[in-house]
A and B are shown apart, each in its own frame.
Chain A
Amino acid sequence: MLVRLLQRELLRHWRCRQDLLNPILFFVLTVTLFPLAVSPDGEMLGQIGSGIIWVAALLAAMLSLESMYRDDYHDGTLELLLLQSGSPYQVVLAKIISHWLTTGLPLVVISPLLAVMMQIPTTAITALMLTLLIGTAVLSLIGSVGMGLTVGLRQGGVLLSLLVLPLYIPILIFGSSAVSAASMNFDYTGQLAFMGAYFLGALSLVPLASVAAIKVSIR
């Protein structure tokens, strides 16, 4: 069942490919703005680069949450899916996984390029990719609750950021500190372990909250 739901989600995303490109473009564009605004100086960028990439990834993941529920909600597909699949849990899980596959994973893939542009030392690029890999999954998970709650609202977008950004803070802290530790050749397994624990905790609890959230919007 989960596989069929996932296939459907991915097919839906594949049919509007341009929408898949937008979060990545947003990610690259936001990072590009910082050297223009702060300083093109390489040493400076190396210091703040990990934080900038992380913040940009966070915002890109948040802005792309819309694609998770909005279309399906408006044409009534979501209601039918929740009613007829027999397991709202699996529907929500499929949505979260497909959101991560279509936005989180591309962000991870493009991040080394941005890391080079931001003068982040090559030793830290593995750390950046690893933390983003775990981190974006957590962002998709937590974001699904916020999106579930706001999908039926007119002013959903701004509200969504108020709801989910505070909850993203632990991931941001550990993700960017792992990268800056790695760029100074320090050990970053501690941060990575924490992110892994946070991911597993979120994976076990968040889909339940997400089901509760989407049920509020669907009624």
Chain B
Amino acid sequence: MNWQWFHRLSSPKWFYQISGTLLPWMWGISFVLLAFGLYQGLYNSVADYQQGNTVRIMYVHVPTAIGSMMFYTMMAVAAAIGYIWRIKLAHMAAISIAPIGAALTFLALVTGSLWGSPMWGTWWVWDARLTSELILLFLYLGFISLHSAFEDRELGDRAAGVLAMVGVVNVPIIHYSVQWWNTLHQGATISKFEKPSMDPSMLLAFMLMLFAILLISGALVMYRMRNEILSREHSKSWVKEVIGL
């Protein structure tokens, strides 16, 4: 089998060029989606019969929560690829994903508590989902600060890669143990956002926002990766050409 495409995929220069052509499209599409999604979510969809207009927070909350978990998995996979096959680009991807993922986790927590305040009458409960999301934030922060603690970036890559691999094995264990802890102590809590019973206008708003937020985060990650490539490969001749030295 011809592996050339794979090696080309791992070349920073190739990635820099292809992402340069992709990024404008990603920004454009994601802003169109966001505009439609916000219009649909804020004006054009029905209010929930129980939650009223507060349900509109969900159009931001659920996509960020989904993104936070998806990005952690992506980060761990990228770090593992980088660690095992020693691909620099994969490490750069992992490092670029981490702050975006942490931001999504933070947003999910904030929007969740903004929703919780009128709905549950409290900003925070020690519910299984909330707690595991909070722990996810700590895992992200641990990854970021371990990487930045190393002066040698390549060494930091490998260290953070080990941590991400250990972390991703633990995430399901933490998730289920937290769930069990919760059910042990307080019984079934709180409403789940039930998909089948959703109004079509709500579903449309939700899907638009989901794709918009994931695409924006993806574009931000790509943007960070391009910066990371330029700063790490600054001595290469093609980089000097790009930045016009």
Contact = CB atoms under 8 A, between A and B. Distances in A.
14 contacts: A159-B146, A162-B138, A163-B146, A166-B139, A167-B167, A170-B173, A173-B177, A173-B181, A177-B181, A177-B184, A205-B169, A213-B159, A213-B162, A217-B159
Contacts of A216: 155, 158-159, 162
B21 interface: no
A166 B159 contact: no
Interface in A181-200: 194, 198
A212 interface: yes
Contact of A153 (B149, B167, B170, B174): B149
Interface string B99-117: 0000000000000000000
B163 A163 contact: yes
Interface string B143-181: 001100110000100110011011101100110011011
A209 B162 contact: yes
A4 interface: no
Contacts of B66: none
A169 interface: yes
Interface residues of A, number: 27
Contacts of A145: 162-163, 166
A199 B149 CA distance: 30
B42 interface: no
A54 B92 CA distance: 39
Interface of A: 142, 145, 149-150, 153, 155, 159, 162-163, 165-167, 169-170, 173-174, 177, 194, 198, 205-206, 209, 212-213, 216-217, 219
Prevailing SS type, chain B contact patch: helix
Nearest to B173: A170
B141 interface: yes
Contacts of A167: 166-167, 170, 174
Given A159-B145, A169-B135, A205-B169, A212 B177 contact: no
A149 B162 contact: yes
Name, among A150, A166, A174, A217, the residue most crowded by chain B CB atoms within 10 Å (CB to CB): A166
B125 to A, nearest CB: 17
B142 A169 contact: no
Given A150-B146, A173-B178, A212 B167 contact: no
B169 A149 contact: no
- For the complex of A and B, the 10 pairs showing the least CB-CB separation, nearest first, are A170-B177, A173-B181, A166-B138, A162-B142, A216-B159, A216-B158, A163-B142, A149-B159, A173-B177, A213-B162
A206 B162 CA distance: 11
Contacts of B135: 166, 169
B177 A219 contact: no
A124 to B, nearest CB: 16
Contact of B145 (A162, A169, A212): A162
B194 to A, nearest CB: 28
